[in-house]
Amino acid sequence: MKKLGLLMAGGASAIVLISNLGPMVGLAISAAILYFVFKQFLKAESTLAKVGYGIIGFIAFMATASNFPAILGLAAAYVLYLVYKKWNASSSIVKEEEHDPFANFEKQWAELKQN
């Protein structure tokens, strides 16, 4: 039953991830352009260059903002990663008991000393 839930969550997140691949690429490209324009804006010394970089930066910012729903794709990729980790995790946890005969004696001796 646990594997079925993981399969359903993984399938849903894979569909969301695939449907948001285009906006994710657009977000990455527009964010990179915005970063480089910002760096050039800070380096520019003339007013005309700053105005030009400001206009280009505003256009890049609008492109970045329009691709903001791609964050859902990033969240789906993270959920898919968690499903993958849970799927490969060992489902049986073995509790190891101590086989040392003196450990039981020490525990009982501590109980007797408390009383």
Residue 12, CA distances (Å) to 16, 21, 74, 78 in order: 6, 15, 13, 12
Above 60 in pLDDT, residue 92?
A: no
Mean pLDDT calculated for residue range 28-34: 93
Residue with tokens 């040392």: 100
Please compute the mean of the pLDDT values over residues 80-105 and round it to a whole number.
Answer: 72
Cα torsion angle, 22, 25, 27, 30, sign? negative
Lowest mean pLDDT among 35-39, 49-53, 96-100, 101-105: 96-100
By the 8 A CB rule, do 48 and 114 touch? no
Domain ranges (residues) in the chain:
1-114
Percent of the chain at pLDDT > 90 equals: 36
pTM of the model: 0.63
Question: Quick check: 90 pLDDT over 70?
Answer: no
